[in-house]
């Protein structure tokens, strides 16, 4: 199953709803490219909704870290939402949960961008 990404906008952040697997398939870079597109205009914050993501591999982690650098360079913040157990465990093992704020509630996550400014 490939990765599908739908983008929504709020005043505080671009929300990327992800579904599928964030894995290496023929050097695909959908996540990184979607994050770059989300902050190409006026928006500088990104919320990645992992509710429908079943797996992430090392390539996906690389895209996530690259997206973090892109957003940070624009003066924004990137946060994670609705991490399923397998994805949460991979991010915990890679120690990326010390880098990314993770939320289970979309309203709370969006509100956190406002309070961080």
pLDDT band, residue 116 (cuts 50/70/90): low
- Give SS3 for 51: strand
CB-based contacts of 56, cutoff 8 Å, min separation 6: 21, 22, 23, 64, 87, 90, 91
Query: Residues of the chain with pLDDT > 90: what percent?
Result: 78
Q: Per-residue pLDDT averaged across 38-55, rounded?
A: 95
**Mean pLDDT, all residues of the chain:** 92
Q: For 82-106, what is each residue's pLDDT tens digit?
A: 999 999 999 999 999 999 999 999 9
Domains and CATH numbers, the chain: 4-116 (3.30.750.24)
Q: For 12-31, what is each residue's pLDDT tens digit?
A: 999 999 999 888 765 578 89
Rounded to an integer, what distance in angstroms lies between the CA atom of residue 49 and that of residue 110? 11
């Amino acid at each position: 199953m490939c990765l599908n990404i739908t983008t929504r906008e709020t005043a505080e952040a671009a929300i990327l709803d992800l579904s599928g697997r964030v894995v290496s398939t023929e050097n695909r870079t959908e996540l990184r490219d979607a994050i770059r597109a989300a902050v190409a205009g006026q928006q500088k914050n990104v919320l990645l909704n992992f509710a429908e993501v079943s797996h992430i591999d090392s390539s996906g982690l690389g895209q996530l870290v690259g997206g973090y650098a892109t957003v940070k360079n624009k003066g924004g913040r990137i946060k994670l939402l609705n991490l399923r157990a397998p994805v949460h465990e991979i991010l915990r093992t890679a120690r990326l949960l010390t880098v990314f704020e993770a939320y289970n509630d979309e309203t709370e996550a969006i509100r956190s961008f406002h309070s961080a400014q």
